[in-house]
Structure 1
Amino acid sequence: MKVSKLAIFTAGIFFSASTLAEVQYQIDLTQPQHHLAKVNVTFPESSADTLTVNLPVWRTGKYAVLPLADGVRLFKATDDDGNALNWQRTATGEWTIELQEPTEVNVSYQLYANDLGTRVRHIDESHAYLDASGVFMYSPEFRQDKVNVSMTVPKGWQSYSGMESGRSKHSFVADNYDVLIDSPIETGVNTHYSFEADGRDYEVVFWGEGNYDAEQIVTDLTKISSTAEVIWDDYPFERYVYMIHATSGARGATEHLNSTIIQLPRFNFRERKDYLRFISTASHEFIHTWNVKAYRPEGLVPYDYQKASMTELLWMAEGSTSYFQNQLLLRADVITPKEFFADLAKRIDRNLNKPGREIQSVAEASLNEWTNTGGDYAINHGVNIYSEGYLASLSLDFNLLADTELAHSYRDVHRKLYQDFKLPKGYNVDDVKNILASLSGKDYQPWWQSHITSPFSLEFDSLLAQAGLVLSYGDSEKATVYSGLTLTGQHNDLTLAHVTRNSPAWLAGIVAGNEIIAVNGLKVTTAGFKKRLEDFNAGDEIELTIFNNDKLTQVSLTLEEQPKGDLAIEGVSNPTNAQKAFLKAWLGIDWPFDDAGKFI
């Protein structure tokens, strides 16, 4: 063994260490029923006194610190002769191994993987989903070295990843750990499809039974995958993998470098509203392949896997992706104009009923995302990088279209970011402002100050009028009463999830966590509470009996009025040519309304 080390050292005169080095990962999944696996990692020879080994404390795509190291037991480190090496746990996701002489280091540990909903790691008798952030340790010393992943799996399993295949059908290779961590693996009993779109190869992998129509999904994904040219001028990949989980309850999605994972409860695919949620998510994650994975804000370049990575531009990374997702579907003819505008109307309605828009800016929300726990405080005093980031993008798009007489749109901003700030570069606020100035010939600092670094409330009527659109609550002019109370939604639970700031209930001193017992002295149930309030008129004073910190008390409040029905977007009658042209430049579609402003 000593001769081998000398030979390698001598070869180092002619070849760099990075040329020879490769990190080897092996994972044994042959006993998956208890969510357990055994992981072995072999790091190249190190001549340092210690080798630091890490498991990330967060995963890409979710801006929150996670207890990923809690799934690790039986940690062991040995040298290249199999001798045990001393080590100690030095941080949440860090192990420090002592080295007496230059040696390869082999690390092994037991992995517990039962975190399906976080899309980090899940192993059972039917599959394993492996995101490296919660599965494979790395050493900063060898982070840029090539990696090889080999898996031992039960008979009959099939393995897929956005990474290149290795020497066997259950192995993969990547240029470095950053590619590995952004290329999850799905292995197990699954269904596989492939298609080609715009010169690129795509695969779709389904795990889990459900009421989805696989053929329809593949058809629509093919359409989506052909529309990227409306924003960008080329692709950051040659091959892309859509991974779809039909689950027992877990839902959500995560973008990756060359793939995405989308989860939905197994019977939440067939209804049109459920399918729209799914296909919009697929579009969202596909767009992320450019916006975040090919270019992203400086604060996220490079990723620091051991601590929060701060940037005030998360609204642009996430909210702008949300903004484009349904536009891609509309242009691909996957959704109708009516469905597109129904979604936009819901977003506007939620914003109008979110008091937090008066308190927090989207820049501050971006910086706060790592500590955002949601709930009552977030609704009343904060905004969301996705929903309010969407509306900031909408406003910016309309401003650009107006300022450039429809010559440029927000799509051009992202095309320019992709052209000029591909990784390993990162862009900052000044870079975005410079792009806006170059496209429009105007200084966007005042707009930025009023919409991004300050809380903003859009004048939706005047904004949408530019595209010939109007907001409406439909044919009904009736109103209903408003209290500002929202229940948890749990069965037979009259506990308040939140109380809207400055609402009648808020002004009466009612707070989230209070439990409602009666209205005007008469007992109410969860199902009957909303109907009970409908017995009253705006301006009526009612008395609620509630438990507040287990103490029974009575509180009076005066009900207010709110519109009845769902907010909708319609077309104006007799739109001008300028309004039609604006809509066309914005969405790429012809005027979709009849003479009365109703959808054709």
Structure 2
Amino acid sequence: MKKIIVSLALASVLLSCKSTVSTSNKKEEVNVTIDLIDVKDDKVQVTILAPKINSDQITYSIPKIIPGTYSNDNYGRYIDDLKAFDNKGTLLEVKKTDENTWTIPGAKKLYKITYLVNDTFDSEKGAGFGQEDIFSPAGTNIEAGTNFMVNMHGFVGYFQDKKEIPYRVNITHPETLWGATSMIDLDSKNNSDEFVVSRYGELVENPVMYAKPDYTTFTVDGMDITIAVFSPGKKVTAENITPEMKKMMMAQKTFLGKINANKKYTVLLYLSSMKPNDAKGFGALEHPTSTTVVMPETIPLNMLQEQMKDVVSHEFFHIVTPLTIHSKEIQYFDYNTPKMSEHLWMYEGVTEYFANLFQINQGLITEEAFYERIADKIEQAKRMNDTMPFTTMSANVLQEPYKAQYLNVYQKGALIGMCIDIIIREKSEGKRGILDLMHKLSNEYGVTKAFDDKELFDKIVALTYPEVGDFLKTYVSGPTPIPYDLFLNKVGVSKSTVKVPGGIFLKGQRPYITINPQTNEIVILPNIELNEFFKALSLKGGDIIVAINGKNFNKENIFELITTSQDWKENETISLKIKRDGKEETINGKVALPYEEKETFSSKDASKNTIKEAWLKG
């Protein structure tokens, strides 16, 4: 990150601002100003007007962690030059007590705090590089005059014991940029917005993305939905993805039924240019009324639409849990010394299960495709620690060795949801499933009422069957691996195999290509057995891929090559320019896809079709 030198003129303005205002009639609220116009050296100025403080000392903290990320990210490391002032503009003493917290001894005199915010996208190294990267959808972007990803936890903190009072946030921005958010803008001017929320937790859950307007709106079953897109190369528009998003969200609302009563929902899609200073962590982060999504701009449109369907549907289903059904650890989330809940199997696992189940339930994917997804999750789960109790991993997810198992929430966590669903279907003769359980839990608890971690299993048993409790004790809080075949057999489903296209340039985690670090060229790996694609075109180890179908490729856009290749069809015409033994040559031919046998499942016991249909279509 670049260092910043604040000019004397700017410093003078900041010090003299409102120097005569009295603090005696302060409202019990935190007043925030974020300046997105006067951006200096890629940093944004934030001013916090403090509420009335009666203690001699107060702390101001930027979050160490936020809900939904399950990692210590320390957003305070992106804050520079934090200063505190009294109402006459006099500097007050400030002590930085840790990476995310500042202590102000003269708290009763405190009028305002100012500081500069760096963005996180600039410092991302990408997947597989260290532990310091912040997951892009939870990160921040500062691109003056072009784009600002304002995830509030990266810009605004909280005063000790003042998280539960209202926040009033004023954001000044270029007139050419529009802020997409689920919050209501109370300011009618074109270059400023004002948002008021009831508490800090609500502010953190309401990101804003500023960009030139590119959005669509539609209504589904009483919910107003906005799709906003930032595509730096103008390769994708909101119109491109809206038809598939609308179809998907209509299906989700139908699947959920009365469990969700949100009136507004916003999808913020940021497409990364893949340049060195741009986002590299792809995925999404859920909020009660919105989802932030980060994807590469190079991804083919049809693949982007498929990814959005899977990723956004998962985040949308978080409306059920943990946003509606959650423990006290989440209700009273501590942003700097968090205590984690035991129930990631439900928050992430059941959510991921729903994101797949609703697609077969609503006819968006075939039965075969659903079974392939289940088989893939079983295969992935078996690569993780299959004897680590899920509740233990969940409660300790911020530290090793549990942290390394977090990704299993999307694999084994979803399979836990599936098994519970099947047990309830079997015991109720198909009349009820896990969605019915979630309906009952949402009625029992809800947005404002949290459960105790230790009481959840007993409550679930009271609402379902003893067999569900046995499953939870044995396979969720216990160390026993789940016998998936046993549960799938209850709905007439058993193992089978199918041939599917494999990766052209990657087989699982094994690549067929690499980068020459001296030239940045893409090189076919020597001394390995190449797949059918390479053999059909007579490509050899050591060949340098210069261009494909007229487009040049190198280190900078290798990701685009890999994602584009996933869209190639069998016998499709292809032209490659390669460099072999120092000489360029062109190879024209047909795509030969590599195929591999994959374990999956199929319905084989017709006597259980009734319960199977209730499971998949009920």
Q: TM-score range by the shorter chain?
A: 0.7 to 0.9
Letter in 1 for 2:76: A
- What is the deviation of 1:269? 4.4
Q: Distance in 2 between matches of 1:427 and 1:323?
A: 22
Q: Distance in 1 between matches of 2:596 and 2:230?
A: 42
| Deviation per residue, 1:244-275 (Å, 9 max, x gap) | 11113431110012111011111224244x53
Letter in 1 for 2:103: T
Contact 1:351 1:388 in 2 (8 A): yes
Residue 182 of structure 1: aligned partner: 205
**2:606 alignment partner, SS class:** coil
Residue 46 of structure 2: aligned partner: 39
Contact 2:83 2:113 in 1 (8 A): yes
Aligned to 2:183, which of 145, 163, 184?
Answer: 163
Residue 389 of structure 2: aligned partner: 361
Q: Distance in 2 between matches of 1:31 and 1:348?
A: 51
Aligned to 1:106, which of 76, 101, 112?
Answer: 112
Residue 194 of structure 1: aligned partner: 217
Q: Distance in 1 between matches of 2:388 and 2:210?
A: 43
Residue 123 of structure 1: aligned partner: 142
- What is the deviation of 1:154? 2.3
Identical aligned pairs, as a percentage?
Answer: 20
Aligned to 1:467, which of 457, 474, 491?
Answer: 491
Contact 2:423 2:468 in 1 (8 A): no
After superposition, the Cα gap between the structure-2 partners of 1:246 and 1:486, relative to the gap in structure 1 and judged at 3 Å, is closer
Letter in 1 for 2:399: T
| Deviation per residue, 1:520-551 (Å, 9 max, x gap) | xxxxx84643559xxxxxxxxxxxxxxxxxxx
- What is the deviation of 1:31? 4.5
- What is the deviation of 1:133? 1.4
Q: Distance in 2 between matches of 1:475 and 1:89?
A: 59
Q: Distance in 2 between matches of 1:216 and 1:334?
A: 19
Contact 1:41 1:137 in 2 (8 A): no
Q: Give the TM-score, by structure 2 length.
A: 0.74
Residue 150 of structure 1: aligned partner: 170
| Deviation per residue, 1:267-321 (Å, 9 max, x gap) | 224244x532321111000011221122212322211011232221112111111
**1:95 has 2:102 as partner:** yes
**1:259 has 2:287 as partner:** no
Contact 2:62 2:153 in 1 (8 A): yes
Q: Give the TM-score, by structure 1 length.
A: 0.76
Residue 551 of structure 1: aligned partner: none
After superposition, the Cα gap between the structure-2 partners of 1:48 and 1:240, relative to the gap in structure 1 and judged at 3 Å, is same
Q: Distance in 1 between matches of 2:349 and 2:602?
A: 24
Structure 1 window deviating more from structure 2 (280-289 vs 170-179): it is: 170-179
Residue 161 of structure 2: aligned partner: 141
- What is the deviation of 1:33? 7.8
Q: Distance in 2 between matches of 1:437 and 1:28?
A: 52
Contact 1:362 1:383 in 2 (8 A): no
Letter in 2 for 1:529: I
Aligned residues: 500
| Deviation per residue, 1:318-344 (Å, 9 max, x gap) | 111111102223334433333323222
After superposition, the Cα gap between the structure-2 partners of 1:30 and 1:4, relative to the gap in structure 1 and judged at 3 Å, is closer
**1:404 has 2:431 as partner:** no
Aligned to 1:316, which of 333, 337, 346?
Answer: 346
After superposition, the Cα gap between the structure-2 partners of 1:212 and 1:135, relative to the gap in structure 1 and judged at 3 Å, is same
After superposition, the Cα gap between the structure-2 partners of 1:36 and 1:415, relative to the gap in structure 1 and judged at 3 Å, is same
**1:447 has 2:471 as partner:** yes
- What is the deviation of 1:98? 2.3
| Deviation per residue, 1:79-119 (Å, 9 max, x gap) | 1222221121123211111227x445200001111337432
Q: Which runs of structure 2 are paired with 1:257-406 in the superposition (5 Å)?
A: 257-272=288-303, 274-352=304-382, 354=383, 356-357=385-386, 359-372=387-400, 378=404, 384-406=408-430
Contact 1:73 1:109 in 2 (8 A): yes
Q: Distance in 2 between matches of 1:390 and 1:91?
A: 37
**1:77 alignment partner, SS class:** strand
After superposition, the Cα gap between the structure-2 partners of 1:361 and 1:24, relative to the gap in structure 1 and judged at 3 Å, is same
After superposition, the Cα gap between the structure-2 partners of 1:166 and 1:153, relative to the gap in structure 1 and judged at 3 Å, is same
Letter in 1 for 2:248: I
Letter in 1 for 2:168: N
Contact 2:214 2:237 in 1 (8 A): no
Q: Distance in 2 between matches of 1:485 and 1:188?
A: 37
- What is the deviation of 1:178? 1.0
After superposition, the Cα gap between the structure-2 partners of 1:434 and 1:322, relative to the gap in structure 1 and judged at 3 Å, is same
Q: Distance in 1 between matches of 2:224 and 2:302?
A: 29
Letter in 2 for 1:124: E
**Structure 1 gap segments, 5+ residues each:** 9-16, 477-483, 494-524, 533-562, 590-600
Q: Distance in 2 between matches of 1:87 and 1:492?
A: 48
Structure 1 window deviating more from structure 2 (421-430 vs 46-55): it is: 421-430
Q: Which runs of structure 2 are paired with 1:17-32 in the superposition (5 Å)?
A: 20-32=27-39
Contact 1:43 1:142 in 2 (8 A): no
Residue 78 of structure 1: aligned partner: 85
**1:458 has 2:482 as partner:** yes
After superposition, the Cα gap between the structure-2 partners of 1:374 and 1:305, relative to the gap in structure 1 and judged at 3 Å, is closer
Letter in 2 for 1:356: N
After superposition, the Cα gap between the structure-2 partners of 1:406 and 1:462, relative to the gap in structure 1 and judged at 3 Å, is same
Letter in 2 for 1:284: H
**1:581 alignment partner, SS class:** helix
Letter in 2 for 1:109: Y
Q: Distance in 1 between matches of 2:512 and 2:448?
A: 45
Aligned to 1:235, which of 229, 238, 260?
Answer: 260
Contact 2:339 2:395 in 1 (8 A): no
Residue 584 of structure 2: aligned partner: none
